[in-house]
């Protein structure tokens, strides 16, 4: 990004990865940037807990698309690899099913074919369909990357202008749902379940998300899956170092309680200690709906316009330190529901806790034994559950009862005597997530990707109400996940530069 005549003061609310990305990009373009973060460290949901020799990544646990991080560092004239070391993870995932099937995902085609040969339904035709699906996934990724990602498109009208009706109708899998397209390629149930659960990256349902979200398998099969030695919080530390080097003023323990405004312009941020920080431009890394509610005091009439940006799901997050190793686990593992369609319907339509959830489990010590004492495992367990909903209010006791069902399932599916071997336990409910990060109703992933509600679009990067207010993070296009929010921050900065020059 070329430097501007700059000098304008930007206040960024929140030091999540989206906020830090916007701050670094703007500072590199010549703006004066201050970030105010209510918590005591940067990173937002990318967080860390150290307890009794175990180090837990509290938030994201998978790193993909490192090119978007490299692009951020390049804006500041730096090299990502000088700040953060990453290593590939093999296999990508290990998948466990109730019928005893265990299937690994590999980037290498020969290894992947060897895995698929284990399926009773394997045939040359099945392998050809797998390859055809990956080609389709790559086509969806490539075309969405050209516009939606690289151009920072924000609305359906932006989409139509960039791609044209013909390309949308013929090239983009826009009308079908994600699960419907998967079903057109495969009737093999294990592969269908695995491919449907790639939607985990954005906390949505494969039965509600638009078909083009099948671009997500390509993210791994083309660009690999990565880990940061020492824990993923090392990524936040590297980005924090970069932010300080380019002149971003980082203020932790400094909560913004209101955005000051006059008519159609914002004028600054009020802090909890009573001070007001003036600003020519404000960028909110707080999610869009909570920012309008909490910081701007917008009323019901305006907020109703935002209802299509429904929260993505939440999760029950368990961090377990065990006194033994479970050797059957890979770094990333999934334990599938017997009826995944019912699981999705329960969480996303009925907004209820599932009886038989699909469970994501990270055993980080497979790649990094330093994250637990010798001979021990460090396990992160995450089943998706509904966001906080007044129609089905759940108490902490309800969530703890659900936790017992989750542990029951893991013990039944091979983690023998898991309860007996737990030495450290940390539990996060949607209430905890909302309290710590002010996320919308305890959502983990920002805005849900739902064809009926929003065609898969998140909120725009620039406020429709205040000319100099912008948003970044998982509730804003292109959506949740570390690479997407880092890209979002860069695109917000590009939008601001263009607006200042206009």
**If you search the block for the tokens 């009826």, which residue do you land on?**
339
DSSP 327-382: TT--SEEEE--SSHHHHHIIIIIS----SS--EEEEEGGGT-GGGS-TT-EEEEEE
Please indicate, yes or no, if residue 91 is contained in any of the structural domains: no
Range of the domain at 357: 313-437
Please indicate, yes or no, if residue 97 is contained in any of the structural domains: no
Contact 87, 227 (CB under 8 A): yes
Query: Is residue 418 located within the same domain as residue 449?
Result: no
Query: Is residue 359 located within the same domain as residue 426?
Result: yes
Q: What is the pLDDT of residue 390?
A: 87
Please indicate, yes or no, if residue 93 is contained in any of the structural domains: no
Query: Is residue 339 located within the same domain as residue 284?
Result: no
Query: Is residue 267 located within the same domain as residue 353?
Result: no
Last residue of a domain, one of 381, 404, 437: 437
The pair of structure tokens assigned to 272 is: 């909890």
The number of angstroms, rounded, from the C-alpha of 192 to the middle of its chain's C-alpha atoms is: 22
Number of domains in the chain: 3
**If you search the block for the tokens 């017997």, which residue do you land on?**
338
Query: Is residue 430 located within the same domain as residue 318?
Result: yes
Q: What is the pLDDT of residue 6?
A: 57
Contact 270, 260 (CB under 8 A): yes
Query: Is residue 195 located within the same domain as residue 241?
Result: no
Please indicate, yes or no, if residue 95 is contained in any of the structural domains: no
Q: What percent of the chain has pLDDT over 70?
A: 99
Please indicate, yes or no, if residue 259 is contained in any of the structural domains: yes
Please confirm whether the linkage preceding 258 is cis (ω < 30° from 0).
no
Run of H or E residues at 423: strand 422-428
Q: Other CB atoms closer than 10 Å to residue 368's CB: what's the count?
A: 17
Query: Is residue 421 located within the same domain as residue 449?
Result: no
Query: Is residue 239 located within the same domain as residue 210?
Result: no
Q: What is the pLDDT of residue 165?
A: 86
Contact 479, 449 (CB under 8 A): yes
Query: Is residue 349 located within the same domain as residue 410?
Result: yes
- Cα 23 to Cα 13: distance, rounded to the nearest angstrom: 10
Query: Is residue 317 located within the same domain as residue 424?
Result: yes
CATH at residue 26: 3.50.50.60
Tens digit of pLDDT for each residue in 1-51?
Answer: 444 445 799 999 999 999 999 999 999 999 999 999 999 999 999 999 999
Contact 176, 211 (CB under 8 A): yes
Tens digit of pLDDT for each residue in 360-408?
Answer: 999 999 999 999 999 999 999 999 999 999 888 999 999 999 999 999 9
Query: Is residue 304 located within the same domain as residue 254?
Result: yes
Question: Residue 226: helix, strand or coil by DSSP?
Answer: strand
Please indicate, yes or no, if residue 285 is contained in any of the structural domains: yes
- Cα 353 to Cα 364: distance, rounded to the nearest angstrom: 27
Last residue of a domain, one of 437, 460, 492: 437
Please indicate, yes or no, if residue 201 is contained in any of the structural domains: yes
**If you search the block for the tokens 């035709």, which residue do you land on?**
125
Backbone angles phi, psi at 389, to 5 degrees: -140, 125
- Cα 179 to Cα 172: distance, rounded to the nearest angstrom: 15
Last residue of a domain, one of 224, 250, 267: 224
Backbone angles phi, psi at 104, to 5 degrees: -95, 150
- Cα 172 to Cα 468: distance, rounded to the nearest angstrom: 33
Query: Is residue 355 located within the same domain as residue 462?
Result: no
pLDDT in tens, the chain (502 residues): 444 445 799 999 999 999 999 999 999 999 999 999 999 999 999 999 999 999 999 999 999 999 999 999 999 999 999 999 999 999 999 999 999 999 999 999 999 999 999 999 999 999 999 999 999 999 999 999 999 999 999 988 899 999 998 888 889 999 999 999 999 999 999 999 999 999 999 999 999 999 999 999 999 999 999 999 999 999 999 999 999 999 999 999 999 999 999 989 999 999 999 999 999 999 999 999 999 999 999 999 999 999 999 999 999 999 999 999 999 999 999 999 999 999 999 999 999 999 999 999 999 999 999 999 999 999 999 999 999 998 889 999 999 999 999 999 999 999 999 999 999 999 999 999 999 999 999 999 999 999 999 999 999 999 999 999 999 999 999 999 999 999 999 999 999 999 999 8
DSSP tag of 92: S
Backbone angles phi, psi at 317, to 5 degrees: -110, 115
Nearest CA to 334 among 494, 103, 152? 103
Nearest CA to 334 among 437, 417, 252, 409? 409
Own/partner pairs for 72-76, CB < 8 Å, 24+ apart? 72/21, 72/24, 72/25, 72/239, 72/242, 72/486, 72/489, 72/490, 73/242, 75/1, 75/24, 75/25, 75/28, 75/490, 76/24, 76/27, 76/28, 76/242, 76/245, 76/246
- Cα 227 to Cα 209: distance, rounded to the nearest angstrom: 27
Please indicate, yes or no, if residue 146 is contained in any of the structural domains: yes
């Amino acid at each position: 990004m070329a430097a501007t005549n700059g000098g304008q003061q930007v206040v960024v609310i929140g030091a999540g990865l989206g906020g830090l990305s916007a701050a670094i990009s703007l500072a590199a373009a010549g703006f004066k940037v201050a970030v105010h973060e209510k918590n005591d460290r940067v990173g937002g949901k990318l967080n860390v807990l150290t307890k009794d020799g175990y180090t837990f990544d509290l938030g994201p646990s998978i790193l993909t698309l490192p090119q978007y991080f490299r692009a951020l560092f390049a804006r500041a004239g730096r090299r990502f690899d000088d700040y953060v070391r990453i290593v590939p993870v093999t296999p990508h995932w290990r998948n466990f099913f109730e019928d005893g099937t265990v299937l690994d995902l590999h980037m290498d085609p020969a290894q992947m074919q060897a895995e698929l040969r284990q399926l009773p339904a394997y045939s040359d035709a099945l392998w050809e369909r797998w390859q055809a699906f990956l080609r389709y996934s790559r086509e969806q990724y490539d075309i969405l990357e050209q516009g939606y990602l690289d151009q920072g498109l924000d609305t359906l009208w932006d989409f139509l202008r960039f791609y044209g009706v013909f390309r949308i109708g013929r090239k983009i899998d826009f009308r079908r749902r994600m699960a419907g397209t998967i079903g057109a390629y495969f009737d093999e149930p294990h592969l269908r379940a695995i491919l449907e659960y790639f939607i985990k990256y954005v906390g949505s349902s494969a039965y509600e998300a638009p078909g083009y979200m099948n671009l997500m398998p390509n993210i791994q099969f083309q660009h690999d899956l990565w880990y940061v030695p020492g824990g993923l919080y090392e990524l936040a530390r590297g980005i924090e170092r970069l932010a300080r080097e380019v002149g971003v003023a980082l203020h932790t323990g400094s909560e913004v309680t209101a955005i000051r405004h006059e008519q159609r312009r914002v004028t600054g941020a009020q802090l909890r200690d009573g001070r007001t920080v003036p600003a020519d431009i404000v960028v909110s890394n707080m999610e869009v709906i909570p920012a309008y509610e909490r910081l701007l005091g917008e009323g019901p009439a305006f907020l109703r316009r935002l209802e299509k940006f429904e929260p993505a799901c939440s999760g029950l997050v368990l961090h377990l330190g065990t006194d033994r190793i479970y050797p059957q686990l890979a770094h990333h593992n999934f334990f599938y529901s017997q009826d995944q369609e019912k699981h999705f319907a329960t969480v996303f339509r009925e907004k209820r806790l599932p009886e038989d959830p699909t469970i994501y489990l990270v055993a980080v010590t497979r790649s990094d034994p330093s994250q637990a004492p010798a001979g021990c495992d460090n396990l992160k367990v995450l089943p998706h559950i509904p966001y906080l909903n007044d129609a089905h209010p759940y108490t902490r006791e309800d969530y703890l009862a659900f936790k017992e069902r989750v542990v029951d399932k893991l013990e039944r599916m091979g983690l023998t005597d898991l309860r007996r071997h737990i030495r450290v336990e940390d539990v996060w409910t949607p209430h905890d997530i909302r309290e710590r990060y002010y996320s919308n109703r305890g959502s983990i992933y920002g805005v849900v990707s739902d064809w009926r509600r929003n065609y898969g679009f998140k909120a725009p990067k620039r406020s429709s109400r205040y000319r100099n207010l912008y948003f970044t993070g998982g509730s804003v296009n292109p959506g949740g996940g570390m690479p997407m929010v880092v890209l979002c921050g860069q695109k917000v900065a590009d939008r601001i530069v263009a607006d200042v020059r206009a």
